[in-house]
């Protein structure tokens, strides 16, 4: 039986892939680590890393748009500097001091529990 990946291991692995592409994890580890833990739980439960801030349908084809990084991440970062969950942020977002940012849900209602 293989050893389960930890949130810290996932963080290190994804950081190497995402940062060169201009995508950063939120520097607030009280947000980032629980979200990464939830991704790992979703991977175990559904077989894929569904967005931890959305309710997956449980079928990959129906949830393809919310497999992290979801297809809504880039427009969220462009408009708000942070994704819906707060996991991914821009480099500038991490350098600024700001309050809580409310990101609107971009996923169409018909995809939610379709």
Over residues 61-77, the pLDDT tens digits come to 999 999 999 999 999 99
User: Cα–chain-centroid distance for residue 74?
Assistant: 11
Question: Rounded to 5 degrees, what are φ and ψ at 102?
Answer: -90, 120
Domain ranges of the chain: 7-17+24-96+107-111
pLDDT digits (tens, 9 = 90+) for 22-58: 999 999 999 999 999 999 999 999 999 999 999 999 9
- Work out the pLDDT band at 59, boundaries 50, 70, 90: very high
> How far is CA 111 from each of CA 42, 60, 75, 87, 108, rounded to the nearest angstrom?
18, 12, 18, 22, 6
Buried b / exposed e along 4-32 (16+ C-beta atoms within 10 A): eeebeebbeebeeeeeeeebbbbeeeebb
Per-residue pLDDT at 2: 61
Does residue 94 have a cis bond before it (omega within 30 degrees)?
A: no
Assigned architecture for domain 7-17+24-96+107-111? Alpha-Beta Complex (3.90)
- The pTM of this model reads 0.91
């Amino acid at each position: 039986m293989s050893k389960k990946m930890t949130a810290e291991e996932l963080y290190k692995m994804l950081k190497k892939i995402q940062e060169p592409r201009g995508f950063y994890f939120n520097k607030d580890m009280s947000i980032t680590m629980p979200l990464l833990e939830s991704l790992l739980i979703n991977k175990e439960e559904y077989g894929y890393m569904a967005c931890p801030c959305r309710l997956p349908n449980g079928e990959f084809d129906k949830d393809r748009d919310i497999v992290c990084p979801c297809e809504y991440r880039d427009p969220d970062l462009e408009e708000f500097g942070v994704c819906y969950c707060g996991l991914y942020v821009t480099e500038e977002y991490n350098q600024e001091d700001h309050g809580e940012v409310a990101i609107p849900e971009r996923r169409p209602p018909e995809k939610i529990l379709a």
